[in-house]
Structure 1
Amino acid sequence: MQTNLASILHQADLISLVQEQNVVDIVHAEGINVPSALTRLGIFSDSELARHIEHIFAIALIDIHQYDYAECCKKIYQRELVLRHRAIPLQFNDTNLFLGISDPTNLDAQDEFRFATGKNVELLLLDNKQLESAIRRIYGNDIGETEHARDISNQDLNNLVDISDGEIDDTTDLSRDSAPVTRYINQILLEAVRKKASDIHFEPYEESYRIRFRCDGILHQHATPPTNLSRRLSTRLKVMSKLNIAERRKPQDGRIKLKLTPTLAIDLRVSSLPTLWGEKVVLRILDSSAASLDIDILGYNDIQKHDYLAALTQPQGMILMTGPTGSGKTVSLYTGLKILNTEERNISTAEDPVEINLPGINQVHINTQVGLNFSDALRSFLRQDPDVVMVGEIRDIETAAIAVKAAQTGHLVLSTLHTNSAAETITRLTNMGIEDFNLASSLSLIIAQRLARRLCPYCKEIHDLDAVIRDKFEIPVSSPIYKASERGCDDCNKGYIGRVGIYEVMPFSPELAQALVAGASTLELERIACQQGMQRLQQSGIEKLMAGTTSLIELQRILHY
């Protein structure tokens, strides 16, 4: 990508020399255009930048919605040129092509479109946001920003991570390029937070290097920096997370703390893994904000919400969340803890790691390297006069036995396991070695859950289901079903925006307790629970489908219909 526009803006005293260099670094590292880099850095908004360009170049700013650009792009099919130059055909006739751009210094675009189409090319100035939205709509080439993104984008990237470059003592190569690499990583981290990614993957290969974001449970490629940056990127990430930069033969784990604003902090869990072509580094973003801990937005229906709240009001017992990694168990647990967090209660948690900071709760970070595991923490909690105890995960018989005993002796215990359904959780605990009668007297509630991508309300489309599928899932013909738009819109990521919980809530009734002691199987326990009103995960998913919240394709992905 060309960077002439950045130089011109600097000459016009609209940006500083440092800002110009930051823009150039990002343009070269990510292959984006200068207007996108300027707005990512928070130097200008899209509209401010467009007005400056209009004034400097004396070129009129036009509204893209005046043109049928979608039809034009179909007839002038130049996808590669559009994506490479961030320029879009707006209109054409026998001799002329009108090309929308946000960077009028990109004369290469004009030349290449002229050569490819055989037409005279006239450049028309567009607001970069309009341009990128149009390209995304036609070619699906990006993920839209959110309001949260625009709030964060004004932060100074150099202050994003409070790590001194003086800590780097590895190689001269790194010290030579430490500033650009630092800026680039900071930009990647900021972009991940903007797009609400849960994980960032830095992946080296023999002839390429890629960076991927996991957004709403799906991995997307974000950038492909040069392969010669591989070692510098991994080393910088290890410095930031205080890992041993000299050790490249063994996996390592660490953490990074980001302070984005005075009130917004993000923790990242870092894992490095030696691969054939270098160290792969994965960052798990742990949003420590408690702002989203609202039971009304998680996706529980009225009955499920009532059952959860009823279990939370009990003075003792065990509440268990179950599901695969990344299914929202921690958020569900902390939503309950937030409700319980009053002056009259003593609440302690043991977690690996602590993912959400909640004032008023005693949170303990498990550290097996010094001998502090879940069972040790739980024993200590019971000597601290607790009312409520949360154990991040029941991993072994020792932790399970202590948790069950605590739930039987006047404490409310919350924890998680990895099972596929609520009823299977009981089987898992008995297989660990917990006696049936102890489980029967301690369990209060089990919630199995998944996270489904939420359909964008602005661009979702009617899905014409055939009669066979409607009959299979008992969906009335009168109930409209929706699917994701393939192209998406300005507000979403190709048809989806955010996620919603799918729940299976099993209150542990006296009938279930009697059946458990009598040796009932998993299927029998599930049958009794359903007779008492429990909604299976599949039924809960269909309810969200009929409400227009998610799509059948998404339910098939997470529930394997």
Structure 2
Amino acid sequence: MLRLLDKSRSLKALADLGMPDETRARYLSIIHRPYGMIVCSGPTGAGKTTTLYATLAEINRDELNVMTIEDPVEYVFPAANQMQINLQADITFASGLKTILRQDPDVILVGEIRDHETARIAVQSSLTGHLVMSSIHATDATSALYRFVDMGIEPFLVATSLVGVVGQRLVRRVCTSCADTYVPSDAEMSDYAALGGPTKTEFVRGGGCEHCAGTGFRGRIAVYEVMEVTEEIGQLVVARTTPHEVREAAVAQGMRPMRVEAAHLIANNLTTIDEVHRNVFIAGSTYVPETATRKSTRHAPKPLKVPKGTKDQ
């Protein structure tokens, strides 16, 4: 499989990512902290890098020393010193992060946390006065916390280093040129009701036209959930409770789950029920969608030491 990188893409502002106002306000309250770790979670192609760079643009100031280590560098960010992975030169995420820490950074963007060593250094960096942003492969915001534990990071370090986690997916947007209303089947209505969205009896779908190459969809839109890692959530992680319990606590504290965000996209005629069930992980749900028979299009420790050159908290 080849992944094509469009170098002509421009940076997006955080306000242009499609986050609902309530979710964006929650995220803004997290990203302006002076230190800690912020992680975007989701599968490949979920828009995590776009979210990270929009975050960088939002918090960037002239006095900040911003540095990145990526594979590859997807966006040119003039205000940052950017480094690219080069395995032939023995530049990995872990070794590049060590190099960055010697240069007194304020903000560090690590393209992806893939292994224990990178996770270990990133966690320690966030505990010693740096704001660290990265991405990780996990099904949702809650699962991202436990991915760190799976990588060998002690739960108490996960709880004290992470300040916020974003879970996200991309769904196709209904083509406005051929969108038409329809009354869904009982099975589709059951699937929609299970998402917990607003009451609705008619939905839209694209019939296919020249503007969307006959697909009924044109463009994509992100589905987000933003979890603040509060003291209560940290205590649950340290106690090694289940992800479901952590998710319940996060929702009780105001997090809007992806399934609810997705339901509102459907209700606002931006995407379809089928598209949500194909692409959005319905965390915490025990039901099997009645329309699930449709073919899916988804593709699917050493002791901690403070690195030299880091800041005191």
TM over 0.5: yes
What is the CA–CA distance in structure 2 between the aligned matches of 1:392 and 1:446, rounded to whole Å? 15
Match of 1:401 among 94, 110, 120: 120
Instruction: Specify which of 321, 330, 340 is matched with residue 40 of structure 2.
Output: 321
Matched, 1:532 2:237: no
Counterparts in 2 of 1:178-257, with a 5 A limit?
Answer: none
For residues 216 and 34 of structure 2, the distance between their equivalents in structure 1, rounded to whole angstroms, comes to 44
Amino acid at match of 1:426: L
Would you say 1:556 and 2:267 are equivalent positions?
A: no
CA-CA distance at 1:289 after TM superposition: 4.2
List gaps (5 residues or longer) in structure 2: 282-288, 290-313
Note closer, same or farther for the CA distance 1:504–1:477 as it changes in structure 2 (3 Å cut).
closer
1:80 maps to: none
Q: Is the 8 A contact 2:188 2:273 kept in 1?
A: no
Residue 433 of structure 1: SS of its match in structure 2?
A: coil
1:42-63 Cα offsets, whole Å, 9 max, x none, are xxxxxxxxxxxxxxxxxxxxxx
- Letter of the 1:511 counterpart: E
Q: The residue matched to 1:284 in structure 2 has which SS?
A: coil
Task: Label 1:478 to 1:557 Cα distance change in 2 as closer, same or farther (>3 A).
Answer: closer
Match of 2:262 among 528, 541, 560: 541
RMSD: 1.8
Asked if structure 2 preserves the Cα contact closer than 8 Å seen for 1:286 and 1:356, the reply is: no
Does structure 2 conserve the Cα–Cα contact (< 8 Å) formed by 1:289 and 1:357? no
2:199 pairs with 1:480: no
Greater RCO, CA 8 A, separation 6+: 2
Deviations 1:421-448 (A, max 9, x none): 1111111111111111111111111111
Give the structure with the larger helix fraction: 1
**How far apart, CA to CA, are the structure 2 residues paired with 1:295 and 1:462?**
31
Which runs of structure 2 are paired with 1:347-426 in the superposition (5 Å)? Answer: 347-426=66-145
Separation of aligned partners in 1, 2:70 and 2:187: 46
Structure 2: distance between partners of 1:340 and 1:497: 31
Quote how far apart the aligned CAs of 1:468 are.
5.0
Write the distance in 2 (CA, Å) between the matches of 1:422 and 1:382: 27
What SS class does the counterpart of residue 150 from structure 2 fall into? helix
Partner Cα distance (2:244, 2:273) in 1: 26
- How many pairs align? 279
Query: Percent identity over the alignment?
Result: 37
CA deviation string 1:113-134 (max 9, x = no partner): xxxxxxxxxxxxxxxxxxxxxx
The one of 487, 505, 519 aligned to 2:240:
519
Contact 2:177–2:211 (CA under 8 A) maintained in structure 1: no
Rounded to whole Å, the distance in 2 between the matches of 1:365 and 1:390 is 12
Q: Which amino acid aligns with 1:509?
A: T
Structure 1: 4+ residue segments shifted above 3 A: 466-469, 475-480, 489-493
Aligned to 1:458: 177
Mean CA deviation greater in 423-432 or 474-483: 474-483
1: CA distance between counterparts of 2:232 and 2:95?
Answer: 34
Q: Paired residue for 1:286?
A: 5
Contact 1:347 1:361 (C-alpha < 8 Å) held by counterparts:
yes
Question: 3-state DSSP class of the match of 2:5?
Answer: strand
Counterpart of 1:64? Answer: none
After TM superposition, the score normalised by the length of structure 1 is 0.48
Are residues 1:341 and 2:60 paired?
Answer: yes
Structure of higher CA gyration radius? 1
Shift of residue 366, structure 1, vs aligned partner: 0.6
**In structure 1, C-alpha distance between the alignment counterparts of 2:252 and 2:59, rounded to whole Å:** 30
Partner of 1:184: none
Unmatched runs of 5 consecutive residues or more in structure 1 = 1-281
Whether the aligned pair in 2 keeps the contact of 1:479 and 1:546 (CA below 8 Å) is no
Q: CA deviation at 1:495?
A: 1.7
